[in-house]
Structure 1
Amino acid sequence: MATAQYETRTRTVEETVVVLTLTEDEAVELRQHIEKVPVSGVVYRVYEALTAPTAAQPAPSTDTFEYEGVTYDLNAKYTDKDGDVWSFRRRASGDTEGHFQGWDEGHWDGFFDLPYVAQKCAPLTKVTP
C-alpha cells in the first residue's frame, strides 16, 4: 500500500554574485549606451539600478586593538574557551575594558580588559553573525 506524508526540508543554497564598481562618470556613460538600444529582462534591471542607485552605505568601523600579535575588532563579540561571550571597548586612556554577557547591560570592567581575558580565557573566537 502506498503512503505519503508531508515533510519540511531546509536547503542551503550558495550563490555567486558579481559586484560591479563604477565611478559616477562610468555609470553615466553606461546608462547612456543602454538608453540607445531596446532592452528587456536582465539588461533592463541593470539599467534601473544605474538610474536609481541605492544610498551609499557607511564603511564599518575599524576600531581595533592589538594584543600579542592578534588584532581584535572592538565592535565584535568573542567567545572564550568555556563558551562565554565577551565584548570589549576602548577607554579614554586607550586601554580596553570588558563586558561579560552575564553581567548587567551597562557593567563594563577595566580589570577584565582584552589582554587579561585573552590570557586567562584563551582562545577568544570572534562571533560571526
Structure 2
Amino acid sequence: MARAQYETRTETVEKTVVVLELSEDEADDLRDLVAAADGTRRMVSIFNALQKPEAPRAEESADTFEYDGVRYDLRVPYRDRDGDVWYFARFGDGVRAGIGRTPRNADDGDPFRTAAGYGPLTKVTE
C-alpha cells in the first residue's frame, strides 16, 4: 500500500555572512550616511536594518545529534522505513534510541545503528 507524508528535515548548511559590530554612535553615523545615499534597493535594505536592529536570537536546541550528515531533533519521534516509530533521549554525553517509546536509560539502543539499519528516518509530523 502506497503512503505519503509531509516531513520536515533539518539540513546543515554552511554559509558565509558578514557581521558588522558598531557602537550606537557609530550606527547612528552609518545610518545618516546610508540615508543620504542614492536610495538603491540594497541601501534601503541596509537603512531598514539599521533602523530596527533585531534582538539576539535564541540558540538552537542542543537536543540534536548528527549522523551521516543529517541532524536529528531529539524532541520529536521519527518513523523508519518499515513504519515503526523511534524516540530519542540524551543521557549525559550520549544519545539513546527506543522503538515505540522514549529510552529510559543509557543502556537502551544505539541511535547511530538505528539510523543506519532502519533509515531513512523521517520526522513524524502528524
TM normalised by structure 1 equals: 0.49
- Higher RCO (Cα < 8 Å, 6 or more apart): 2
